[in-house]
Amino acid sequence: MIDDSLQALIEAVLLTARGPVTSDAISLATDREIGEGAIEEAISGLAASWEEAERGVRLERSAGGWRCVTPPQFDHYLRTFHGIASRQKLSQAALEVLAIVAHRQPVTLPEINFIRGTNSSAVARTLLDRRLIRLAGRKKVVGKPFLYRTTKEFLLHFGLERAEDLPDPEDLVEPEVAADA
**Tens of pLDDT along 30-43?**
766 777 778 888 88
Is the pLDDT assigned to residue 124 strictly greater than 70?
yes
Of the given ranges (33-37, 113-117, 146-150, 177-181), which has the lowest mean pLDDT?
177-181
* CATH code given to domain 4-75: 1.10.10.10
Class (C level, CATH) for 92-170: mainly alpha
pTM score above 0.85:
no
Is the CB of residue 20 less than 8 Å from the CB of residue 156?
A: yes
Dihedral sign computed on CA atoms, order 67, 78, 84, 165:
positive
Average pLDDT, the chain: 84
* Band of pLDDT at residue 117, cut at 50, 70 and 90: very high
DSSP-derived 3-state class of residue 168: coil
Distance CA 39, CA 29 (A): 12
Instruction: Show Cβ contacts of residue 15 under 8 Å, excluding neighbours closer than 6 positions.
Output: 57, 68
What residue ranges do the domains of the chain occupy? 4-75, 92-170
pLDDT of residue 1: 42
Instruction: Show Cβ contacts of residue 92 under 8 Å, excluding neighbours closer than 6 positions.
Output: none
Letter for the amino acid at 151? Answer: T
pLDDT tens across 68-104, in order?
888 888 888 888 888 877 667 889 999 999 999 999 9
Name, of 46-55, 87-96, 114-123, the range with top average pLDDT.
114-123
